[in-house]
Amino acid sequence: MNQAFRGYNMNSPRFLRTSAVELAPREEIGFECANGHTFFIMFALEANFPTDWDCPRCGAASKRTDGTVGEVKQPRKTRRHWDMLRERRSIAELEALLAERLAEVRKERG
């Protein structure tokens, strides 16, 4: 069960647009099938957005109406300072740096 669908009436097709209560951050992706049916699917922002989907009305393969094909839009992930730091330094390096800094601070404080 995708978190983005929480709050939907499970007795109705979850593909239908409903006025849902406040959900997790999400994005609505439009699709159009080979027979011209358009529909929208909600995806959690953390999810990878598919570029095709089966039409809920006729089952035909559908493409995204925003023209995105064969490419997965990456979710907007917030990079924390720590994440960026870890891309540049190993834990061993960070520990060495920390030890160095602590030694300096202790020296300054006498």
- Positions in the binding site for Zn ion (CB under 5 A): 33, 35, 37, 55, 57-58, 60
Between 40 and 95, CB nearer to Zn ion: 40
Using DSSP's 3-state secondary structure scheme, residue 3 falls into: helix
Instruction: Tell which residue, 77, 70, 67, 19, has the closest CA to residue 44.
Output: 77
Least Å distance, CB 52 to Zn ion, is: 12
Least Å distance, CB 60 to Zn ion, is: 5
Instruction: Tell which residue, 2, 38, 47, has the closest CA to residue 20.
Output: 2
Between 63 and 73, CB nearer to Zn ion: 63
Bridge partner residues of 11 (DSSP): none
Least Å distance, CB 91 to Zn ion, is: 52
